[in-house]
Amino acid sequence: MVRAKFKTLKIVSGGQTGADRAALDFALEHGLRHGGWCPQGRLAEDGAIDRCYRLQETPSPGYAQRTEWNVRDADATVVFSLHPQLAGGTLLTMEMARRLGKPCLHLTRRGAATPPGERLRQFLVEHNIHVLNVAGPRASTDPGVVKFVQETLGAALLEAPQPH
């Protein structure tokens, strides 16, 4: 069950395979609102993005416009990656957040003393986030990112299981 303080959170992303889709699937599974912008034609590396995801198409078939619009329309962005070095659209997301003056958190599996789920929970509370843009690499370039996103979102947003 989603923690009370996060029940109204909306998760947005561009719908690409990997981190984006993992976040949208998490939102659907746990009853959170979701949405975001995707390229014209609902383009993703695996074909057209399924209509089960409530995404709006940008006028452009390019990925940069949807990246910018998702950063722009969210209160903040979290970027997931298994490795600290970012590239491509993931790096562009971080740059857009800086350019637009939006809070942005980069989470990797290792390297920080505080676990990623706790860091994300603190970030959400500190910045009073109601709409969270989730970004990260595609499944083809970082196959473990889906599990990392879902585990981290679960640790940050879900009530801890109670012992019986």
Residues 6+ apart with CB under 8 A from 135: 13, 14, 19, 20, 67, 70, 77, 78, 79, 80, 89, 90, 93
Residue 41 has pLDDT above 70, yes or no: yes
Q: Where are the beta strands (DSSP E) in the chain?
A: 10-12, 33-35, 37-38, 43-44, 47-48, 56-57, 76-81, 104-108, 131-135
Phi-psi region of 88 (alpha: psi -120 to 50; beta: other; left: phi over 0): left
Whether 162 is covered by a domain: the verdict is no
Decide if pLDDT at 66 tops 80: yes
Q: How far apart are CA 21 and CA 99, in angstroms?
A: 25
Instruction: Give how many domains the chain has, as a whole number.
Output: 1
Residue 40 domain-assigned? yes
The answer to whether residue 163 sits within a structural domain is no
Mean pLDDT of the chain: 95
Confidence of residue 160 (pLDDT cuts 50, 70, 90): confident
pLDDT of res. 164 = 58
Q: What is the pLDDT of residue 55?
A: 98
Residue 17 CB neighbour total at 10 angstroms? 20
Strands 131-135 and 10-12, bridge-based pairing = parallel
List the CATH number of the domain containing 45: 3.40.50.450
Owning domain of residue 74: 4-157
pLDDT mean over 64-93:
95
pLDDT tens track for 97-145:
999 999 999 999 877 789 999 999 999 999 999 999 999 999 999 989 9
Task: Give a yes or no: residue 53 inside a domain.
Answer: yes
Determine if residue 66 is left, alpha or beta; phi over 0 gives left, psi from -120 to 50 gives alpha, anything else beta: alpha
Whether the per-residue pLDDT at 152 is higher than 90: the answer is yes
Which of the four pLDDT bands, split at 50, 70 and 90, describes residue 162? low
pLDDT at 163 over 90: no
- The reply to whether 164 falls in a domain is no
